[in-house]
Amino acid sequence: MTVVGPFGASVRDKALEADVRAGLAAVEEGLIEATESDVPFITKAAQHLVRAGGKRFRPLLVVLSAQFADANAPGVVPAAVVVELTHLATLYHDDVMDEAEVRRGVPSANTRWDNSVAVLTGDFLFSRASAIVAGLGPEAVRIQAEAFERLVTGQIQETTGPRPGEDPIEHHLRVIAGKTGSLIAVSGRFGSLMSGADPRIVADLTEFGERIGVAFQLADDVLDIAGEARESGKTPGTDLREGIPTLPVLRLRERALAGGSEDDRRLLELVEGDLTDDARLAEALAGMRTNPALARAREDTRRQAELARESLADLPDVPARTALASLCDAVVDRTS
């Protein structure tokens, strides 16, 4: 068994391993080429996060999804570059909105330069992604536009919060499906579509992408509480300190408001209070790590990953299907 890509898909087939590695290497070259500008400063800013690395989960899904038809079709690598550029653009914008200081182990663009540079660099990446997707045909443009609308809608819904009477957990899942699931769904769709796969295969891989995308983000929610900085590269409790309602916190609130224990209510009061003090944050993290709400959030993550696995059931029994199934386990077990 070989693990391919920074995220880690288990590949047992030598030919598939070679194809995936070649595809991801071509994507890296495409990302560097797509972020070059005649203006040196723009190149530097646009390649800031590209060169910082990353999991390349979306390109990996494009490359694996292309294996169900012609994996070497000319549109596969450009499509993978499109989804990763789009993802990178959202990171520049997210870091401004979240006032983040670090991204992928390096200073965020807004910290290294300023908010204006970060926002405009994100816009530049969106423009480059648009130019590439235009060369893939009208259907690809439409797919990208629809996904981008869902992504922005999810971000707005996160910002405005749930409507009166709306279940906060259902709202959170809807936000995740838009912000994260939509673009990962495009990864499965683009890879299979560009390779010329049967429409039924395209539909199944699109569904897989959406579901694995939701599981991926829920795993992030869990890691914010349970992760270790030395493994994840992200300071545990970052979202907790910023008051972001991740799934473990929502599950805690659900427990506390539905007749939970006095410990649940005290912990919720702590979590929803001011966590700028390191000692209070450490106390909140310790409490969350032993509370049943975290175990429930893990179960939710596992359930979403299993739904993703079920989406693969009708696909041809080829090595790529096994590799995709391994991603379901990798999402649940990830430490970064």
Cα–Cα distances in angstroms (integers) from residue 242 to residues 2, 78, 169, 245, 261, in the given order: 38, 36, 18, 9, 25
Residue 287 · residue 255 · CB < 8 Å? no
Q: What is the pLDDT of residues 45-75, one digit of tens each?
A: 888 877 887 789 999 999 999 999 999 999 9
Cα–Cα distances in angstroms (integers) from residue 207 to residues 156, 234, 248, in the given order: 23, 29, 25
Q: State yes or no: pLDDT of 147 exceeds 90.
A: yes
| pLDDT tier for residue 1 given thresholds of 50, 70 and 90 | very low
State residue 107's pLDDT score: 66
State residue 231's pLDDT score: 45
Q: State yes or no: pLDDT of 258 exceeds 70.
A: yes
Q: 199-318+325-335: same fold as 13-197? A: yes
Hey, what CATH class is 13-197 in?
mainly alpha
Q: Are strands 2-4 and 9-11 parallel, antiparallel or unpaired?
A: antiparallel
Average pLDDT over residues 138-150: 95
| pLDDT tier for residue 202 given thresholds of 50, 70 and 90 | very high
CATH for the stretch 199-318+325-335: 1.10.600.10
Where along the chain do its domains lie? 13-197, 199-318+325-335
Q: State yes or no: pLDDT of 218 exceeds 50.
A: yes
Q: What is the pLDDT of residues 153-194, one digit of tens each?
A: 999 998 899 999 899 999 999 999 999 999 999 999 999 999
State residue 95's pLDDT score: 65
Q: State yes or no: pLDDT of 230 exceeds 50.
A: no
State residue 281's pLDDT score: 93
